[in-house]
Amino acid sequence: MKIKKIMALKVLVVLALALGFTGCSKKGSTKGGSTATGWKINDKKGGFQFNDKFKQQETPPGMISVEGGTFTMGKVQDDVMHDWNNSPNQQHVQSFFMDETEVTNKMYSEYLFWVKTVFPPTEENYKHIYNGAIPDTLVWRNRLGYNETMTNNYLRHPAYADYPVVGVNWIQAVEFSKWRTDRVNENILEREGYLKKDNKIKLGSDVTAENSFSTETYINTPSKSFGGNEEVVLKKEMGGGRRPAADTAKNVYAQRSSGLILPEYRLPTEAEWEYAAVALVGNREYNIYKGQKKYPWSGQYTRSSKRQYRGDQLANFKQGKGDYGGIAGWSDDGADITNKVKSYAPNDFGLYDMAGNVAEWVQDVYRPMVDDEANDFNYFRGNVYTKNKIGEDGVVELVTSDNITYDTLSNGRIMARNFPGQIAQVPVDENETYLRTQFSTSDNRNYRDGDRQSTRYYKFNDSEEGSEGGSEEKFRMYEAPKHSISADSLGKMNKKFDKSSKRTTLVDDNVRVYKGGSWRDRAYWLDPASRRFFPQDMATDYIGFRCAMSKVGPKSNKKTPRGNPKK
């Protein structure tokens, strides 16, 4: 009997120890709750709400996913210009989305239709908005060439609907990108039940200048979207998922944490554009690049080596003096001016016309060298940081028809800087820059090249701006011409040309990089590493653009992390 009691006691001790070890090793229970507090998340009774069902960013309309990586930026094999523009430097680009093709005339015409309907040019307050958005069709004219057919038809005629839009300056391309951001997010929020169905198509009636959708306005002050119309901006409870639960309405709007609102459409940076164009993903074995790529396709030549298409040109470009397409009946590239998008094979990322057809605007302000010593991650020159303007009532201040800001460009064109319904922007100040190490001013276009600290006249710890000689203008690094334009009380433009013989360059903070060869360019410019610049407020018949969008979340869409076993 005593032995049985001893054995039973031993069994109890072993069980107790086993349970103790199990209790020590078991993770704290967080099922349905926060790993920080243990509180329940997405409780219908209230509390913290979060979209735990988010999987990955939705692919934006018309775009292709480009997985980021490292590459050698620059390094043109044939540097016919013998300048600094192509000095090789190693850069890393984060994953992003990019338009499959250039923005076409049809796409841009949809933008013009919306602007003209919502901001009627017949009204005094809005007359410059639509006119400022129209491409310059006179870019087709030539003193010794007959091109009136393109001047009158290229933008509007359905024969050119799927051709890349041209005559668009850099500023107009940026404004188109902003408009596209709002229209895509407006469509998503309507689809998910946060906005009234079909309201967006009632332009001129339900959607007017004072009653339109802005992504940033909706995020920051949703009650003021669509002019504060609660019949359009619906108030729903997110319910922890994508779909709002109408039966538990608690005045909750879609937010960034909903995972629905896409980042902004924008122009690609130069590094992104070049990385996407060269598409090294199709020219590697394991993690070693096999040679260099001179063009967006593999090989050293512009003609196809495939048996079915042997001898055909792989892009639309100028082949020689007076040769824009080849001999009639057997055209070298099938075009004399621009060509319909997707007329040539895509590169290894699935992107069309990354060489030829039209050159393309990118975001960057031009400088002769890429400052890879300052940054080698998502390189971009052109940051001008702003913040939302806060009114006297402590909330964000919206643009109205009475306080639209217009800019008169150097060529006399008047363009709206902002639209009614958007949030007014102001430069960041010392509240954002104080004691920061990564930026100290709002405008960073000149950083380390062109600003006062870059000149040979700079005096360290000199507190007086331009104290050397009393004039900052006298000692600026880049001596680009400074034309001026002003209007008198009657609206007549007074244009003054800078004819100074001391101007030594065209480089300043308002010239932008454009990439890729065009229908007017020789084969040299088809190299993705080639780079040129043009004033941001001027347009040509050979520069178009495409949009990009940053990718949020993981670098790639692989379901399991590299090197980790499946869970």
At 341-370, the pLDDT tens digits run 999 999 999 999 999 999 999 999 999 989
- 397 domain residue, yes or no: yes
32/91: higher pLDDT:
91
Q: In sequence order, which residues have a C-beta less than 8 Å from that of residue 113 and are 6 or more positions away?
A: none
Average pLDDT, the chain: 84
Give, in degrees to the nearest 5, the angle at Cα 80 between 78 and 85: 85
pLDDT for position 344: 93
Query: Would the pLDDT of 469 be above 50?
Result: no
pLDDT at 387 over 60: yes
Q: Tell me the pLDDT tens digit for each residue of 525-551.
A: 999 999 999 999 999 999 999 999 999
List alpha helices for 134-287, DSSP H: 148-153, 170-191, 215-220, 270-278
Tokens 């958007």 map to which residue? 422
> pLDDT tens digits, residue range 492-519?
778 888 888 877 788 999 999 999 999 9
Query: Which of 385, 341, 382, 387 shows the shortest CA–CA distance to 360?
Result: 341
Of 236, 261, 262, 233, the C-alpha closest to 251 is: 236
| Residue 96 near residue 268 (C-beta atoms within 8 A) | yes
Residue 463 neighbours by CB under 8 Å, 6+ apart: none
Beta strands in 432-492 (DSSP E): 484-487
Weakest-pLDDT range from 165-174, 328-337, 523-532 = 328-337
Q: How confident is the model at residue 459 (pLDDT cuts 50, 70, 90)?
A: confident
Measure Cα distances from 79 to 86, 90, 319 in Å. 7, 18, 18
Q: How many domains is the chain partitioned into structurally?
A: 1
Spatial contact of 190 and 196, defined as CB atoms under 8 Å apart? yes
Between residues 76 and 112, which one has the greater pLDDT? 112
| pLDDT given at position 474 | 64
What is the reported pLDDT for 250? 45
Name which residue leads in pLDDT, 233 or 6: 233
Helix (H), strand (E) at residue 101: none
The one-letter code for the residue type at 190 is: E
- The percent of residues above 70 in pLDDT, for the chain, comes to 84
pLDDT at 374: 93
Of residues 417 and 457, more confidence is placed in: 417
Domain-located, residue 292: no
Distance, in Å, from the CA atom of 365 to the CA atom of 213, rounded to the nearest integer, reads 30
Query: Which secondary-structure segment (H or E) carries 414?
Result: strand 414-416
Which residues lie closer than 8 Å to 325 by C-beta, 6 or more apart? Answer: 331, 332, 333, 334, 335, 336
Q: How far apart are CA 544 and CA 169, in angstroms?
A: 8
Cβ distance 341 to 162 under 8 Å?
yes
Identify the residue whose tokens are 């319909």.
340
Task: Tell me the pLDDT band of 456, cut-offs 50, 70 and 90.
Answer: confident
The pLDDT tens digits for 274-327 are 999 999 875 555 555 544 678 888 778 787 777 777 778 889 999 999 999 888
Residue from 517, 177, 541 nearest 333 by CA: 517
- Asked if the model's pLDDT at residue 89 lies above 70, the reply is yes
Q: How many CB atoms lie within 10 A of CB 183?
A: 18
Percent of all residues in the chain with a pLDDT value above 90, rounded to a whole number: 50
Query: Is residue 204 within 8 Å of residue 118, measured between CB atoms?
Result: yes
Place of tokens 């199709």: 282
Q: Which pLDDT belongs to residue 461?
A: 64
Nearest to 351 by CA among 91, 550, 62: 62
* Rounded distance between C-alpha atoms, residue 536 and residue 363, angstroms: 10
Q: In angstroms, rounded to a whole number, what is the distance separating the alpha carbons of residues 212 and 398?
A: 12
Band the pLDDT of 30: cuts 50, 70, 90. low
- What pLDDT shows up at residue 239? 46
Nearest-angstrom CA–CA distance, 407 and 418: 10
Distance CA 148, CA 507 (A): 32
Which residues are within 8 A (CB) of 402 and not within 5 positions of it... i.e. 6 or more apart? 125
425 located within any domain: yes
Q: What pLDDT band is residue 50 in, cutting at 50, 70 and 90?
A: confident
Distance CA(207)–CA(218), nearest Å, equals 15
Q: For 196, which DSSP code? A: -
What is the rounded CA–CA span in Å between residue 315 and residue 341? Answer: 11
Kindly give, in sequence order, each residue whose CB lies less than 8 Å from that of residue 28, ignoring residues fewer than 6 positions away: 38
Residue 214 lies in a domain: no
What are the tokens at 47? Answer: 């509390």
Establish if 523 belongs to a structural domain. Answer: no
Residue 294: predicted pLDDT: 84
Q: Is residue 390 part of a domain?
A: yes
Q: What is the pLDDT of residue 499?
A: 82
Indicate the SS3 state at residue 171: helix
pLDDT for res 249: 41
Cα(253)–Cα(189) distance, integer angstroms: 10
Q: Using CA atoms, how far apart are residues 116 and 300, in angstroms rounded to an integer? A: 47
Q: Is the pLDDT of residue 245 over 50?
A: no
Q: In what order do the strands lie in the sheet with 96-99?
A: 63-66, 96-99, 548-550
The residues, ordered by sequence, that sit 6+ positions from 465 with a Cβ below 8 Å of its Cβ are 452, 472
More confident residue, 303 or 257: 257
The residue to which tokens 């302000």 are assigned = 365
pLDDT at 260: 92
Residue 415 lies in a domain: yes
Domain assignment of residue 414, yes or no: yes
Does residue 225 register a pLDDT over 90? no
423 is in which domain, residue-wise? 384-443
Tell me how far apart the alpha carbons of residues 538 and 553 are, in angstroms, rounded to a whole number.
37
Residue 527, token pair as written in the block: 């190299």
At 452, is the pLDDT very low, low, confident or very high (cuts 50, 70, 90)? confident
Tokens encoding 368:
């002769």
